[in-house]
Every structure is written in structure tokens, then in C-alpha cells.
Amino acid sequence: MRTARMLVTTSFIVAVTALSACSASSPSRVSASPGVSASPGATARPTGTVTVLTHDSFAIPDATVKKFEQASGLTVKFVAAGDGGALVNQLVLTKDAPLADVVYGIDNTFASRVGDAGILLPYASPAPAASSKISAGLPATKGLTAIDFSDVCLNVDLTYFASHDLAAPKTLDDLLDPKYRDMVSVTNPATSSPGLAFLLETVAAKGDGWKDYWTALKANGLRVTSSWSDTYFVDFSAPNYGGDRPIVLSYASSPPSEVIDGKPTTAALLDTCFRQVEYAGILKGTDNVAGAQAVVDWMLSDDFQSEMPNSMYVYPVSDTASIPQEWLDYAPLSPKPWSMSPTEITTRRDDLVKEWTGLVLG
């Protein structure tokens, strides 16, 4: 009896839903916070707390943060909101009630989604790093300030190839060679941002042939994990980890961490790189625009920028930030990274990921 009634009511709910589907498609109202962003000339010293939403890999020494807090009078809170894609999606889902004042860690594979959703206040930082040589060369996206960049590349375990008397691969095509069978581990583009970068790279490199490429890669014993740490820390056969895969997806900046007794044990394959840029932005609806701007400026300061290689394994955009010597020695950037325009990424990303999932994991 009760069950039957419950069913009736449930179907009623579904019916109501279907009816209201037509009316509910009006665009959601953007929050009616002060529409004018604080004038750039405002001299009032910012105060209060600035909450910065970050991706899960964010790390910066406490001392650096303390120093800025003392100098600026601001309190800065960092809150992790998941991996790259999850971070952006949360911003979109919560645009009626922004989670923070500043967001850091949106990369170029998701930048356009943020731009399209209209969730950022426009801001052009006066900091020199905002117009550095490198920043000038990066694709600009509405409301976003480039903070750092890195090259997602395949890394190889040099000791493995040396001890097996095998030449390490160099290009994407090399990976299809049967002599590299069961050697490659990459990450899932649906759940990991380097994975997505690598997928976009194959599309940039192979055009319409990307599906054939992945089919062949899969046939050659590809392993796919859900996160970078699974691939790098667990699968990588490099001496520090002892996994079973000598070719893994990581970054151009990874090898310096694997230098043992002054000798590199791994190397990045510079022909297999995709350039990833990470941006910061100010969220619409913040009640501390001046504070938020000060935090973005701080992220471009050399104090912050010089910490990035050691804390987050990324290259600073500032021309004047200091770069560790071992990076200069062992972490060269790719001279010709693969890339894809933000617009193309926007239009194709979701379909590519879904097709990839069906093709490789299905």
C-alpha cells in the first residue's frame, strides 16, 4: 500500500520535473555584487582575509606566506578544491556563491571554460612579471593572469635503458615499437590534468589519426592510471621508486628530483611535450577586491615566483625569478612543445575525453 503510494508520488515528481524543464533554462543570474571592480588607482591599503582556492598540488612554504601577510596586513587562506578540472567545475557550479576571492591553478586546458562562464573579474596586474617575455608568449585568457608554466613530457628511466642495452625512445611514434612493449604508463585524461595534456598533444601531433595512435599504443601494452602520483611514484621504474614501467608521463621538471650522486637517472623526452600554463584569477562576488588584487600581484612577485620550482615543480613566468641550478642542468624546457589553441581545446576537450574513454578504457 505505502509502497504503491510512494511510487505514485515519485512519478508525480518526475512529471513535474519534466514540465518545469522548459522554464528553467533561463540563464542563472550573476550575483549582484558591486559590478565595478575597485579602481586600479585605489590607494587604500587592503585588509582582511583573502581565501585562495587552489588545486590539490598547491604548496608554498609557510615562511613565504607569513612574510607577505606581515608586509601586506592581509591574512591569506589556501583551500584545495581537487585536481585541475574539478577545481574549475566547482567554480562554475558555485558561481552564485563563490567559494573564495582568488583562484590559482586553472591551467590552459580548462582556462576557456572559466572565461566562458563569466566567473572572473577582469584584472591586469601592474607587476613586471605580468608582462615578462614568457607571459607575453602565453595565450591570454579573459580574467586570467599567468603565474607559472611547465611542460608535460614523457620521462624515461635512463638506468633501465642503460642496463638493458636498449636505446630510449625519442618520439611519440617510437612508443609504438614492439621493443617498448609493456613499458609505458600514462594517466587518465578524465581524472588528471597531465593526462589531458598528453591526450591533447596526441591530437595536436596526429590530427585525425589520434585514435589509431591510441589504439596502437594500447595494443603495445599501455597502462593507464587515475593520477599522476600513481603513474610516477608507483609505476615508474626509476631507482627512487622501483616500479615496473620505464616510460611514464610526467613533466620536463621531474628529472632534477631523480639526480643521484650528481648523476641524472631519468630524462624528459623533449619531443613529447605539451605546454601547460597555470593561471590565477579574481572571482566575481569577492568582497575584498583590493585584497584579491594584492594576492595576485604577490603571486607574480619574485618572492613567490622563486619558490615555485622547489615547491611545485613548475617554471615561474617572471624573467627575474631565480631558478635552481639543477633545473638549468637537468630540466630543460622543450624547444618546440606541442600546443592547441584555447578555443579548440574548449570546443573539443569533452568530446575527446569521452571518445578516449570509450576507446582506451572501454
CA distances from 297 to 124, 141, 243, 357 (A): 10, 17, 41, 39
DSSP 230: I
Site for another protein in 312-351 (CB under 8 A): 350-351
Residue 28 or 39 having the CB closest to another protein: 28
Binding pattern for the stretch 91-130 against another protein, x by CB under 8 A and - elsewhere: -xxx-xx-xx------------x-----------------
**Closest CB to another protein among residues 178, 362:** 362
Ramachandran quadrant class, 105 (left: phi over 0; alpha: psi -120 to 50; beta: rest): left
Amino acid at position 145, single letter: T
Applying CB under 8 A, among 229, 240, 311, 346 the residue interacting with another protein is 229
Give the nearest distance from C-beta 149 to another protein in angstroms. Answer: 23
- Please, which residues bridge with residue 184 across strands? 247
Binding to another protein by residue 186, rule CB under 8 A?
A: no
Interaction of residue 21 with another protein, rule CB under 8 A: yes
Cell numbers found for residue 229: 602520483
Cβ proximity to another protein: between 61 and 137 the closer is 61
Cα 182-183-188 angle, rounded to 5 deg = 90
Which residue's CB is nearer to another protein, number 61 or number 73? 61
CA distances 6 to 15, 17, 18, 162, 340, Å, are 14, 17, 19, 69, 52
Buried b (16+ CB within 10 A) or exposed e, 14-38: eeeeeeeeeeeeeeeeeeeeeeebb
20 lies in the site for another protein, by CB under 8 A = yes
Task: Report the SS3 class of residue 76.
Answer: strand
Which C-beta is closer to another protein: that of 93 or that of 162?
93
The answer to whether the beta carbons of residues 52 and 78 sit under 8 Å apart is yes
CB-wise, 28 or 43, nearer to another protein? 28
Is residue 5 a contact point for another protein (CB under 8 A)? yes
Instruction: Name the site residues for another protein (rule: CB under 8 A).
Output: 2-7, 9-11, 13-14, 16-18, 20-21, 24-25, 28-29, 31-32, 51, 53-54, 56, 58-59, 77-82, 85-86, 89-90, 92-94, 96-97, 99-100, 113, 188, 190-191, 226-227, 229, 350-351, 353-354, 357-358, 362
